[in-house]
Structure 1
């Protein structure tokens, strides 16, 4: 992984697989009240950061996040959902791919909402008729729409470890009943508003994950990225309705092209191979297509 950028007035504090976090430098004393969240062009799969990155990915995902934050703040005509964005100057070196955000007390829960049966949920359903322990009607196929969206939380593991799916009762044990219900209800509301918006644009929002924090006034606040191709599974509605195979029905607007290529060309032993130029460009094109379909950008 390349060394993080040196940004005047900011101090790098951590890096994930695809994003870098900065706080003001010099510190003003105590905990910082704002942070700079920078999206890189890095791409990860199977717990590895891959080379090369996807050119423009950081800008594409940040642009999509900001578009959704604006809509959910009342731009879609619904009630305003508080978010972590704050005003201020973003360094020119990361303009377009960074968000200036308020520091929050982050909740240790990944709030997953599923509107369609696929992925790990489909695998579990085949075995037990459930998704994350929630009973689902019988007779569904991979990619089918669920009777109603379901909330399936996960406990956020320390960096570098896998998040763990948990039941709602376990979530209550972690954050308390009132906060658990608030997280569940807000996650379902945001998903349903977003799914309605994407449907108008011929796109299906199959599932997504949210992160929330609590601000200094105790207000639950939408944080991190939101409804991007990295945090959500988007499908083309027409292909879903007419595709002859699961692969055709559920071709995602994300890095699935990368996963498929790696699965065919790597035995998951040692370091993964470098991605071919064709795979990089096809992946970038899917990110660009989704942004254009949703925002018109």
Structure 2
């Protein structure tokens, strides 16, 4: 397990909340750790196998979507760096060798159901990111899929913005292409998820332009429980929040502790860790239709 870091020394590295990104010159190595964040803090307790779920699900979707993407290989034997046995074991299943890309500075969010920040916006204004929706909708209602971009925040929360705001920043043609491709990928993934008994309520995509060809690529992670809201189709009942396959247990436990969200967060108890891990693994097994291989 790679709980809070990754075992590669001597390579240029950027560390995000969950991923460690190693610069290999003309390519990158993305390594998903078992770190988990909540309320803009990285928690001190890892979730075993979480990083393997994220990387393996991303690999699964990259291979199925038929969309140009940055994945070169998730096989450690293909990584162009020397690895000892310990490093190979640590990276197996949680690392991806990818093409470099100039990252689009917006999260490309698609919503097919009214939940989260979208539900909050709708209650206030009847619209989400400037997209007017029918009146009388309730929380978790199904809607015609809408594209609702957000700025990418270095710290704190991403901020929802209108399509026009994004178009002003990127140009109308680029923004329209991002919207069209994001909606198309969502529709394809939502249809497949529904066939597995899951609702893909919403998701965020990241896109980038390949260096040096300029080809638009789907990048980062894709359609994982960290980037997407999955619900059980069988248990779905609009009119309130739905149980989801993500870090819900972590958020609920932290909220109940009375933590002030401004000082270092508390460690997670074993039962919350175990229940959270089980939801990530369940998501993997439901989506892929195969048993999780690192039990």
Q: TM-score, normalised by structure 1?
A: 0.88
The yes-or-no answer on 1:89 pairing with 2:76 is no
Aligned match of 2:149: 153
Aligned match of 1:41: 34
CA distance in 1, matches of 2:185, 2:21: 25
* Secondary structure of 1:143's aligned partner: coil
Aligned match of 2:240: 246
Aligned match for 1:53, one of 25, 46, 49 = 46
Contact residue 12 and residue 20 of structure 1 kept, 8 A:
no
Contact residue 4 and residue 33 of structure 2 kept, 8 A:
no
Superposition deviation, residue 160 in structure 1: 2.2
CA distance in 2, matches of 1:5, 1:185: 36
Contact residue 4 and residue 46 of structure 2 kept, 8 A:
no
Alignment of 1:266-277 (within 5 A): 266-268=258-260, 269-277=262-270
Superposition deviation, residue 4 in structure 1: 3.9
* Secondary structure of 2:37's aligned partner: strand
* Secondary structure of 2:53's aligned partner: helix
Deviates more, 1:192-201 or 1:12-21: 12-21
The yes-or-no answer on 1:185 pairing with 2:186 is no
Aligned match of 1:5: 6
Contact residue 18 and residue 35 of structure 2 kept, 8 A:
yes
CA distance in 1, matches of 2:93, 2:168: 39
CA-based RMSD: 1.8
Contact residue 6 and residue 31 of structure 2 kept, 8 A:
no
Aligned match of 2:293: none
Distance 1:3 1:283, change over 3 A: closer
* Secondary structure of 1:238's aligned partner: coil
Aligned match of 1:175: 170
CA distance in 2, matches of 1:270, 1:121: 28
Aligned match of 1:78: none
The yes-or-no answer on 1:18 pairing with 2:18 is yes
Aligned match of 2:127: 130
Superposition deviation, residue 288 in structure 1: 0.7
Superposition deviation, residue 127 in structure 1: 1.4
Aligned match of 1:27: none
After superposing on structure 2, the runs of 4+ consecutive aligned residues of structure 1 that deviate more than 3 Å are: 2-6
Superposition deviation, residue 17 in structure 1: 0.8
Contact residue 4 and residue 12 of structure 1 kept, 8 A:
no
Superposition deviation, residue 266 in structure 1: 2.6
Aligned match of 2:100: 103
Contact residue 266 and residue 272 of structure 1 kept, 8 A:
no
Aligned match of 2:140: 143
* Equivalent residue pairs, number: 276
Q: TM-score, normalised by structure 2?
A: 0.89
Superposition deviation, residue 161 in structure 1: 4.2
Aligned match for 1:261, one of 236, 249, 253 = 253
Q: Deviations over 1:171-217 (max 9, x none)?
A: 11111111100000000000000000000011000000000011122
The yes-or-no answer on 1:287 pairing with 2:258 is no
CA distance in 2, matches of 1:246, 1:141: 7
CA distance in 2, matches of 1:290, 1:171: 32
Aligned match of 2:111: 114
